[in-house]
Amino acid sequence: MSARIKYTDESLAQVQVVPDFLPSPAELAFREEGVKVTLSLSKKSIEFFKSEASKHHTQYQRMIRRLIDAYVDAQAPTLRSRGRPDKRRAP
């Protein structure tokens, strides 16, 4: 890629802002029952979670599990991560 990039001052048309639904590392540090799985993650992801876990005095695996649970909760707001209907929402 030896070609130079030419930047222009064009409008971006319609832009949609997506709300940040991911929890902070501090919110990922609590325990919930789980099922063991085998999963390969990138080295940079593991290093990040290990670093953040040591700052918050918790286990990095626990933080990763909470991150995935938060994603599931955001994608299926009518179901809780435990598989029960969410009592806070109207049917």
DSSP characters over 44-70? HHHHHHHHHHHHTTS-HHHHHHHHHHH
In this structure, the number of other CB atoms found within 10 A of the CB of residue 28 comes to 23
Q: What is the pLDDT of residues 1-54, one digit of tens each?
A: 678 888 888 887 888 888 888 888 877 776 666 788 999 999 999 999 999 999
The Cα 88–Cα 4 span in angstroms is 54
**Angle separating helix axes 60-75 and 43-55, nearest 10 degrees:** 100
Domain count, the chain: 1
The Cα 26–Cα 20 span in angstroms is 15
In a domain, 6, yes or no: no
In a domain, 11, yes or no: no
Whether 59 shows a pLDDT value over 90: the answer reads yes
Residue span of the structural domain in which 65 resides: 25-29+39-75
In a domain, 88, yes or no: no
Q: Does this model's pTM top 0.75? A: no
In a domain, 84, yes or no: no
In a domain, 62, yes or no: yes
In a domain, 46, yes or no: yes
In a domain, 85, yes or no: no
In a domain, 49, yes or no: yes
